[in-house]
Amino acid sequence: MRELVTHREWLCRLGLPSVFLFVIALLWSGAVSAITYRSLGVSTSIDGRTLSFVENLLFRVLDGGQFVFWINLVVFLALALLRVHFRWWVVLATMIVAGTPLAVLMGRSIARYLWAINKGGVPWEDVLPAPVTMGIVWVVALVADAVIDWRLRVCARNLVSKGICPECRYDLRGSIAGGSTRCPECGAPIQSVSRIEA
Ligand SMILES: [Zn+2]
């Protein structure tokens, strides 16, 4: 996780990805609920008519997505205030690949438990799993982001110590000896290379 210089820079680079993630997270929470309902054989009816999967999904987005909405709003505000740069695709991948099965399994377990003790189960299935999973998704995604940054830095440092440009892999040993300040191949400043090493 790199820190960006200004709040303006954060907004320019991460404003649109944040809005995109926000919308996907709301649809995701609806999808998780709709999948859980379907897998439990529960159907939702309004005025005696059973909702289709898509109608159920949109209904769940409006119904249960509010908690996911608030969690994401708080996280985005914190990231914007602290000017933390994050990779939006890491969050998206974590949400879909790890978050979906986790939320569905959690939703099924909660519903089954509440049915077993004869207290229904549908409202809690809706309220709990998606927001709890969303919180876990953010923690996992930000840790993964930090690990990716660390690996990239180690990689760049190794290349620099061998006299290789970390941007384009050009052999810089001759250029450094000749006193060049930029990589002759891609133009990356050699100073920034030594800053990575610091
Ligand atoms: Zn280069």
Q: What is the pLDDT of residues 128-182, one digit of tens each?
A: 899 999 999 999 999 999 999 899 889 888 888 888 988 888 998 888 888 888 8
Centre of ligand 1 to C-alpha 188, Å, is: 5
Centre of ligand 1 to C-alpha 25, Å, is: 38
Centre of ligand 1 to C-alpha 190, Å, is: 9
On the question of pLDDT at 53 being above 70, the answer is yes
On the question of pLDDT at 76 being above 60, the answer is yes
Is 95 strand, coil or helix?
Answer: helix
Predicted TM-score (pTM) of this structure: 0.79
Does residue 89 or residue 162 have the better pLDDT?
Answer: 89
Centre of ligand 1 to C-alpha 5, Å, is: 24
CA atoms within 13 A on the CB side of 50: 7
On the question of pLDDT at 191 being above 70, the answer is no
pLDDT for position 103: 93
Output b/e per residue, 123-139; b: 16+ Cβ within 10 A: eebbbbbbbbbbebbbe
CB within 5 A of ion ligand 1: which residues? 165, 167-168, 170, 183, 185-186, 188
Centre of ligand 1 to C-alpha 177, Å, is: 16
Confidence of residue 114 (pLDDT cuts 50, 70, 90): confident
pLDDT for position 1: 57
On the question of pLDDT at 198 being above 50, the answer is no
Overall average pLDDT of the 66-78 stretch: 92
Please state the domain extents for the chain: 7-148, 162-198
Pairing of strands 45-46, 49-50: antiparallel
Centre of ligand 1 to C-alpha 178, Å, is: 15
Does residue 102 or residue 181 have the better pLDDT?
Answer: 102
Confidence of residue 45 (pLDDT cuts 50, 70, 90): confident
